[in-house]
Structure 1
């Protein structure tokens, strides 16, 4: 595989049973690149290691005053130099290709896994870990994959040189052949503690990164409560822990490096001492002594790759383990599906809870527990059902549909939608039916003020659609982000749209307009809204109360408000049984009918618990003053 041919048509099915197995699978799938790198590495290392023999031959030719042999030695040295340059050039090219293609394969595998799992991925694995695997871990895995071939070439070269020295000069060759394995493997006992220290460092660095990411994500809230200093102290403490762990890890690796320098030096001293002794006795010539001495010096170069492969494996092993953990996750249903690819239409039915959303109508679902609402919203997306039977759309279980068809039929917007960085035009560039325009979707989501804010904040965009949105929309308020995400979902115009608390961050007046806009724009389409807001509930064609994982009541907002105590307790934030107005108390709504949560006017009225905020509180106080005056 060449770099220009990326991405892979099919990255393959990885062996994700463990980190080492995943690394072995990567190496086998790049066997061609590994063999090419090995061949160029052998050419490079053998040419480098052959230079001492040429030097020894030249020295001996000078001693013997042989011009022809000296000329031959010069030619051999020139040939070795050319081979060294060519081998090094193409070795680097092949090694970098192996690195990049291995990293690209892992990234493709992770992207494919994320696309198949969808929102289930971050429920099983922390989002920070997925980011770490797809960035830093990918590079470490690629480093090990490309280092294997260079290490193999270096190891074969060392073996060949040892054999050559034994044949060329047995007396000194045996010393070198015995000493080199000791030099090569002396650092092995230090690798486990070095690896453990490196793991501790990466773990602490990951926690510090996660803390920094959470702090940046919640910076607006931190400034609002004055918590910047607290989180700054926490991050400072976490960064110091990372520094101490990095120093401890560096000490171990510096010790390993020192051993890799010390032992070859001691071996060289031993060879020189013994070689001089043999030369004095006349058992070896000067040229042979120079050859062996030079060979030992040159072998220090390939021996450095023993240290590199140890470091590469120690750093890539935990990275491969994390990657294998993500890649081993599987959907509970077959992503290929067993039905035809045509998206069904009709009523949306959840057999597990008894929830039914009639086709073409707006159904509101009320759950006392927000987590239960989130899980039920995800269940309605089908195809990734983790509990109970599959959700059925138009008589067809969604987990029997191909994944693409199921996702085209049902779109779920969770309570914390993500806005990617880019322009507003890019944000709205999503697969859509074509029946809803961007202007209509933005209008229904009440995004006029968001467009104005984007236009004012952009220095080089005349059209608000070209204005830039920062990562995760952090330059926008929570309500603005929520409305843009809602507009994106409305523009998609799926057969079934499931919204989980789509207006929790907007004020009551905007919420009322959004309720009208969504109802009008989604007319004739199936829409399910998980909410406890009376403004949305009052616009729904059908309201369903889910209690303890089952449908407890079905009706309209007004009927359930008067007839179902559990529903009233969730919507009005009142204890069960206190929904009816007592003596001296009466239900109060907004001027245009019962469009918001009812409140009791009296000494015990729990007005402060209402989510509408200070404005509603002031209106209620004014009404109470009018009553007292009358």
Structure 2
């Protein structure tokens, strides 16, 4: 079970090389920044006070070298840090996507697609930023360390003020980051939920318009969006409070340090040049302290995001892979014995190799459960599903899907062309895609095509895969009756010798099957060719003709 801490530590370890290099350069930049007021103070004491042009030019040259060094250190250190953050975020994103696409499933349980997208994008980005935050923190501590050592060498009381005051400021900043962390986690959850609702509504836009539910959809998103906005505002207020308090305390701390330095200069404890250096170092400290405040805020948000990423990566799979291998030659015999899952109740089905079988379900939920069991998206509560006598539980889901393809009704097409989605001309012809050329553009999720065109291209893609076992779920519900009859004949011809299961209530498709199983009450109640069932079974007539 992964934790948020595991995710953060892995992100840091994965960028160890860039982190070390960037930290050295960042520390060099901050050390150079801290040395600038010291060098100015030395120039005042050794050149200005003694009116020596030679020494003044020498110190100016030293300052120029230091400025060039710290400038290049910042440039390349920042580049290394940004590169490391982007690479770490990319690696987290790849892990999230791999988990979502894992054949065992389970990652999308109780999560909308938009929420998964939010975790793969915004949460991954925030986790990646932890690398830059660590680099920045190391650089800031380096600047504080150099300033403290110099101030201790100049005046022990000034150095002690820094040594005692800095940990107190950091502790206060850490306390103030706790509310931000809590509110940031809620903010990210609400934003991800809002994105999920938006994606869900956009995907079903045509349906919403068809039933006139636009106003209800808008109201639903408005409520969700307002909840997300409220969470975002609470997180923003927490961040603003933290930043404001830290900046105010930092200013008071720097003012105290400058006041003490001025008092020591008046007493003659330190020289004029040392006072200039002390005041300059006090001003310099504002940079590292603000950097540490930013680091605290970034770590708070990264911890919240890492918790969400860890929860997704640790989500248990819906099915666990077995160790048994499929035979090199697959006959395509499918058997379900006593399968119980959801609405399925002791379901028994026996399909011979090469048979074209129709399944007409009176309950759509039962059809859906059957599809999930056949594709091993789930394992049944009781009973077994077998392929060529091998229980599917004993197979790796990824290997199984090389033999069994379940083409669901809500198939998603990919952006590109018809050929990109289904390039086999024979499959395109069998699916009745005569009105589209191979180069016809296909928009995201097939949005540029009509419902019937999307279905036919998805069917062509399924046929082109030529799996030994193909399960089709309502592949022609948006196609006219004449085209549907032609497609049924073409599917039968193209799948000759290969096992095919048609889960549908379409009379045209069921008429092309060798036999049809009536799935009623969670079990098969009748089985015969389509014409025989129509003649003798009223439940079947109601299911396919209503």
- Do both share a fold (TM > 0.5)? yes
Asked if structure 1 preserves the Cα contact closer than 8 Å seen for 2:103 and 2:397, the reply is: no
In the alignment, structure 1 residue 288 sits paired with structure 2 residue 258 = no
- Cα offset, 1:488, TM superposition: 0.8
Task: Give, in whole Å, the separation in 1 of the partners of 2:312 and 2:327.
Answer: 28
Task: Give, in whole Å, the separation in 2 of the partners of 1:38 and 1:368.
Answer: 66
Asked if structure 2 preserves the Cα contact closer than 8 Å seen for 1:337 and 1:399, the reply is: no
Task: Give, in whole Å, the separation in 2 of the partners of 1:570 and 1:134.
Answer: 46
Q: Residue in 2 aligned with 1:148?
A: 134
Asked if structure 2 preserves the Cα contact closer than 8 Å seen for 1:166 and 1:177, the reply is: no
CA displacement, residues 408-427 of structure 1 (integer Å, 9 cap, x when unaligned)? 11111112111111111211
Task: Give, in whole Å, the separation in 2 of the partners of 1:145 and 1:542.
Answer: 62
Asked if structure 2 preserves the Cα contact closer than 8 Å seen for 1:342 and 1:405, the reply is: no
In the alignment, structure 1 residue 392 sits paired with structure 2 residue 396 = no
CA displacement, residues 593-612 of structure 1 (integer Å, 9 cap, x when unaligned)? xxx62xxxxxxxxxxxx3xx
Task: Give, in whole Å, the separation in 2 of the partners of 1:233 and 1:563.
Answer: 49
In the alignment, structure 1 residue 504 sits paired with structure 2 residue 477 = yes
Task: Give, in whole Å, the separation in 1 of the partners of 2:163 and 2:430.
Answer: 80
Asked if structure 2 preserves the Cα contact closer than 8 Å seen for 1:445 and 1:484, the reply is: yes
1:313 to 278, 284, 299: 299
In the alignment, structure 1 residue 474 sits paired with structure 2 residue 447 = yes
- Cα offset, 1:387, TM superposition: 3.7
Q: Residue in 1 aligned with 2:542?
A: 572
Change (3 A) 1:423 1:148: same
Asked if structure 2 preserves the Cα contact closer than 8 Å seen for 1:497 and 1:527, the reply is: yes
Q: Residue in 2 aligned with 1:131?
A: 117
Please state whether the residue corresponding to 1:408 is helix, strand or coil. Answer: coil
2:498 to 525, 538, 543: 525
Q: Residue in 2 aligned with 1:356?
A: 350
1:31 to 7, 16, 35: 16
Task: Give, in whole Å, the separation in 1 of the partners of 2:153 and 2:322.
Answer: 63
Please state whether the residue corresponding to 2:460 is helix, strand or coil. Answer: helix
Task: Give, in whole Å, the separation in 2 of the partners of 1:51 and 1:507.
Answer: 81
Aligned positions of 1:234-313 closer than 5 A: 234-313=220-299
Task: Give, in whole Å, the separation in 1 of the partners of 2:307 and 2:329.
Answer: 38
Asked if structure 2 preserves the Cα contact closer than 8 Å seen for 1:384 and 1:399, the reply is: no
Please state whether the residue corresponding to 1:483 is helix, strand or coil. Answer: helix
Change (3 A) 1:310 1:343: farther
Change (3 A) 1:393 1:124: farther
CA displacement, residues 537-556 of structure 1 (integer Å, 9 cap, x when unaligned)? 22211222334544443322
Task: Give, in whole Å, the separation in 2 of the partners of 1:390 and 1:272.
Answer: 79
In the alignment, structure 1 residue 59 sits paired with structure 2 residue 32 = no
Q: Residue in 2 aligned with 1:424?
A: 418
| Aligned-pair Cα RMSD in Å | 2.6
Change (3 A) 1:46 1:343: farther
Q: Residue in 1 aligned with 2:359?
A: 365
Change (3 A) 1:404 1:193: closer
- Cα offset, 1:530, TM superposition: 1.0
Q: Residue in 1 aligned with 2:427?
A: 441
Aligned positions of 1:554-565 closer than 5 A: 554-564=527-537
In the alignment, structure 1 residue 40 sits paired with structure 2 residue 25 = yes
Task: Give, in whole Å, the separation in 1 of the partners of 2:282 and 2:151.
Answer: 10
Asked if structure 1 preserves the Cα contact closer than 8 Å seen for 2:182 and 2:304, the reply is: no
Task: Give, in whole Å, the separation in 2 of the partners of 1:304 and 1:165.
Answer: 20
Asked if structure 1 preserves the Cα contact closer than 8 Å seen for 2:411 and 2:455, the reply is: yes
CA displacement, residues 131-170 of structure 1 (integer Å, 9 cap, x when unaligned)? 1122222211111223212212212432342233223321
Provide structure 1 residue ranges, at least 5 long, that are not aligned to the other structure: 1-15, 430-437, 452-463, 574-595, 598-609, 611-630
Task: Give, in whole Å, the separation in 2 of the partners of 1:79 and 1:204.
Answer: 51
Change (3 A) 1:510 1:174: same
Tell me the TM-score normalized by structure 2: 0.90
In the alignment, structure 1 residue 114 sits paired with structure 2 residue 100 = yes
Provide structure 2 residue ranges, at least 5 long, that are not aligned to the other structure: 340-346
The structure, 1 or 2, with the larger RCO (C-alpha pairs under 8 Å, 6+ apart) is 2
Change (3 A) 1:76 1:335: farther
Tell me the TM-score normalized by structure 1: 0.79
Asked if structure 1 preserves the Cα contact closer than 8 Å seen for 2:353 and 2:499, the reply is: yes
Asked if structure 2 preserves the Cα contact closer than 8 Å seen for 1:331 and 1:384, the reply is: no
Equivalent pairs counted in the alignment come to 537
